[in-house]
Amino acid sequence: MDTTTGKSSIARPSRRRGLLVLAVATALAAGLAPAAGAGPADRAGARIHHGQVELAVSGGTATIDPATLRIDARADDGQTLRMSDPAADTPGTPRNLAASGNGARWSYPDRGLDAEARVEHGRLLVTITADRDATLAWPVTGTDPAASALQLPRGEGLSLPVADPFWNSSRAQLVGSEEDMASQLSLPIWGYALGSGRGVSYLAPTDIGTSLAYASRGGRLSTTAKHSFSGGDGTRGYTVAFSLTDGSPVAPAVDYRHWLAEHGQLGSLSEKIRKNPETGRLLGAFHAYAWGGARTAAGIARLKALGVSRLWLGYDADEAPMKSEDAAAAKKAGYLVGPYDSFANGRAKGPDTPPNSVWPDGVYPSFCVRRADGTPQPGFHKQGCYLSSQAFEQAEPGRHYLADRTRSLVANGATSYFLDVDAAGELFRDHDPAHPMTMAQDRTNRLARMQRLADGSYDTHHAPLVLGSESAGAWANKVLAFDHGSGTPVDGRLWPMETGHFDSAPDQPKDDPAWGGYTPAAAADTFFKPVRVSDFKPEHRAAVADALKAMYDPAYRVPLYEAALHGSLVNVERWELPFGKLPEQKTTRALLAMLYNTPLNFVISDKDKRNERNLNELAALQKYFAPLHQAAGTKELTSYRRLTGDGTVQRTVFGDGTLTVTANFGTAAHDGLPGGCVDATLKGGKPQRLCPAKVVS
């Protein structure tokens, strides 16, 4: 389909054909139904003809050329699609090509590679294993002349017209870059729309060691996946799953949701609420970090008086955490409270050392991750070191460092917990012989310790915690109730904006202080000071404007993360980008939150000179959001459509029509909906309208 209109819905897979994404504009799924076993395509096996491997997939036939790894698909209607160009680096001469089970196998002995192609649930799966360390640049995608848009899971998600001048230029800083799939993309997927009603999705379940590189050829975006086969890193296997789709802007994410369900990897927020009823307080809640008196019972009473019915309230695990009476007041108000903590960093204790970087004797520096040269992996802001999850796991039977930390931080009655970094994708290989670890083991360790927090097994005397983490990769969706960060399609220029170092080195004075620093202590400018493009120095304004365009322009934004994981966990933007920080983006961000059924995040402090305005905005927006999220927060996103050619008017549906939301990001009215406004309709009810500009400034 043409993603400029995106007129498609997400439908239940067909039992007969196994299609994962159907071009049916009116059918809505009542719930995600995992594929019902092997379909005809799975049982058909491979046909080897003139050195080519042909396999029946959902919607057509895929043909692989083992000599180059080029893959073409012939759709059921006879149209030919290019799924991958030949590998960018030749795999070698194929040998021993033969049918095997429901697929085929062959090898590249010169490079120590073995290949297998098979079909599962209508997808083509190609797995390549190496007997030595090597790299492979493949698949090479987006080269079909019919390709019209690239779907990219940066944060919540983007759909980029392949010929868009901005994204093909240096202004977007995409072309020529490469992103790690495990740490920089929120989902291990990408995809292309191919003309009208067709597309291809790509899924790399072996995301560790895999990256995606971006190029512009003839003014059109193309991509190349790259995999590093490393014995030490545990990445000697590489799998890519290919699917034919209807070309919807969210088709790759829908395909991935089915993959997760088929492999028992899709979490359920409803089930998390059943196991821990406190999790239900997330439904309808905005998120906020509190400073100063906002952490107190009086601050909570002020929020309640303004009509804030639900709230997740976080605070630093510093020298002035929430007291027991404050946590009790929050619980009585219907709110969740939780400390911000991290298990990732260790430093020697000093006057400026953050409390969560201080550990009992024996942890720092002996638990530091060691690089190949034996030096410690530098920690946050190059201070101290990153701590090895393996070292903690090995110590756990005798020394409960993590449980002791958590127990002390929730002694005030907090029922939630925010664990920074653990669910983000920056994984480490530890070369310390005392606690060696691959990146895959690091991920396994993090999942295990997050699970202990979520189910309460970290301490038999404490209840389960409503757990959140930073920029959660999809691999963590089963253990988390919420995340802060995966709602933001981060542009690399955000860091210079935040740090003030556009052209200067980090250890030099800032060359642009517009964003603000860490004072005053009770309402630090870096979080509370509103910043506009014009606040930056003239020489930096173009870069800032382009970064914000890349992050927030609704013409490019699509809910990939929600299509994959809505109803599994609650997804929020980065916590250092609270709603008030970017006033020029307020209307767009509010509309996106309502359209995607995701909470906004705030920072609040009675020491903020804009506090009353901030609280009133929070209350007005949360009042509108609460009933929508309470009804649909546990439902899957079942339809996403662009109702206008320029993408300014968009519509989502959640569940079996539980909630329908239409947002108009433009300036002109569309079908009675004014520009800058959103209509939301609960099943059986009447449209409720919000025009953010009327309640925010």
Residue 3 has pLDDT above 80, yes or no: no
Q: Name the percent of the chain lying above pLDDT 90.
A: 89
Q: Please report the pLDDT score of residue 196 as a whole number.
A: 81
Spatial separation of the C-alpha atoms in residues 448 and 458, rounded to whole Å = 10
- What is the edge-to-edge ordering of all strands in the sheet holding 637-642? 8-9, 637-642, 649-654, 659-664, 677-682, 688-690
Residue 24 has pLDDT above 80, yes or no: no
- As beta bridge partners, residue 680 has 661, 688
Please tell me which residue, 28 or 124, carries the higher pLDDT value: 124
pLDDT tens digits, residue range 432-487?
Answer: 999 999 999 999 999 999 999 999 999 877 789 999 999 999 999 999 999 999 99
Q: In Å, what is the CA distance from 373 to each residue of 365, 427, 431, 439?
A: 16, 18, 8, 17
Q: Please report the pLDDT score of residue 102 as a whole number.
A: 87
Q: In Å, what is the CA distance from 621 to each residue of 295, 484, 586, 601, 627?
A: 21, 19, 11, 11, 11
Task: Report the mean per-residue pLDDT for the chain.
Answer: 93
Residue 399 CB partners (closer than 8 Å, separation 6+): 362
pLDDT tens digits, residue range 512-531?
Answer: 999 999 999 899 999 999 99
Residue 210 CB partners (closer than 8 Å, separation 6+): 180, 181, 182, 188, 204, 225, 226, 227, 228, 238
For 3-14, b/e burial (b = at least 16 CB within 10 A) is: bbbbbbbbbbbb
Residue 2 has pLDDT above 90, yes or no: no
Specify the pairing of strand 103-108 against strand 95-100: antiparallel
Average pLDDT over residues 369-393: 96
Q: In Å, what is the CA distance from 408 to each residue of 331, 347, 386, 456?
A: 19, 19, 22, 14
Give ∠ CA 96-99-100 in degrees, rounded to 5.
105
Q: What one-letter code names the amino acid at 690?
A: L
Q: Name the percent of the chain lying above pLDDT 70.
A: 94
pLDDT tens digits, residue range 55-90?
Answer: 999 999 999 999 999 999 999 999 999 999 999 999
Residue 7 has pLDDT above 80, yes or no: no
Q: Which of 7-16, 98-107, 190-199 has the lowest mean pLDDT?
A: 7-16
- As beta bridge partners, residue 84 has 71
Spatial separation of the C-alpha atoms in residues 246 and 231, rounded to whole Å = 38
Q: Please report the pLDDT score of residue 36 as a whole number.
A: 31
Give ∠ CA 631-637-643 in degrees, rounded to 5.
110
Q: Which of 21, 24, 20, 22 is nearest to 39 (CA)?
A: 20
Q: Please report the pLDDT score of residue 254 as a whole number.
A: 98
Q: Please report the pLDDT score of residue 690 as a whole number.
A: 98
Spatial separation of the C-alpha atoms in residues 393 and 647, rounded to whole Å = 49
Q: Which of 380, 346, 280, 339 is nearest to 468 (CA)?
A: 339
3-state secondary structure 294-341: HHCHHHHHHHHHCCCCCEEEEEECCCCCCCHHHHHHHHHHCCEEEEEE
Q: What is the DSSP string of 88-156?
A: SS-----EEEEEETTEEEEEEGGGTEEEEEEEETTEEEEEEEESS-EEEEEEEES-STTEEEEEE-STT
Spatial separation of the C-alpha atoms in residues 78 and 121, rounded to whole Å = 22
Q: Which of 558, 570, 588 is nearest to 8 (CA)?
A: 558
Residue 25 has pLDDT above 80, yes or no: no
Residue 23 has pLDDT above 50, yes or no: no
Residue 14 has pLDDT above 90, yes or no: no
Spatial separation of the C-alpha atoms in residues 543 and 503, rounded to whole Å = 12
Burial-class residue 201 by CB neighbours within 10 Å (0-12, 13-18, 19+). Answer: buried
Q: Please report the pLDDT score of residue 42 as a whole number.
A: 53
pLDDT tens digits, residue range 561-608?
Answer: 999 999 999 999 999 999 999 999 999 999 999 999 999 999 999 999
Q: Please report the pLDDT score of residue 319 as a whole number.
A: 79
Residue 22 has pLDDT above 60, yes or no: no
What are the backbone dihedrals phi and psi of residue 431, each rounded to the nearest 5 degrees, phi first? -95, 5
Helices (H), 436-532: 439-455, 494-499, 525-528
Residue 18 has pLDDT above 70, yes or no: no
Q: Which of 273, 314, 274 is nearest to 290 (CA)?
A: 314
Q: Please report the pLDDT score of residue 372 as a whole number.
A: 97
Residue 17 has pLDDT above 70, yes or no: no
Q: Are 482 and 283 in contact (CB under 8 A)?
A: no
Q: Which of 67, 80, 59, 221 is nearest to 143 (CA)?
A: 221
Strands (E), 550-687: 570-572, 601-605, 637-642, 649-654, 659-664, 677-682
Q: Are 487 and 561 in contact (CB under 8 A)?
A: yes
Spatial separation of the C-alpha atoms in residues 373 and 100, rounded to whole Å = 44
Q: Please report the pLDDT score of residue 425 as a whole number.
A: 75
Please state the separation of Cα 669 from the chain's center in Å.
32
**How many helices (H) and strands (E) would you count in the chain?**
15, 34
Q: What is the DSSP string of 403-438?
A: HHHHHHHTTT---EEEEESTTSS----B--TTS-B-
Burial-class residue 561 by CB neighbours within 10 Å (0-12, 13-18, 19+). Answer: buried
Q: Please report the pLDDT score of residue 320 as a whole number.
A: 81
Residue 244 CB partners (closer than 8 Å, separation 6+): 57, 58, 59, 60, 73, 75, 81, 198, 199, 200
Q: Please report the pLDDT score of residue 44 as a whole number.
A: 63
pTM of the model: 0.94
Q: Please report the pLDDT score of residue 624 as a whole number.
A: 98
Average pLDDT over residues 330-348: 97
Burial-class residue 324 by CB neighbours within 10 Å (0-12, 13-18, 19+). Answer: exposed
Q: Please report the pLDDT score of residue 26 as a whole number.
A: 25
Q: Please report the pLDDT score of residue 397 as a whole number.
A: 85
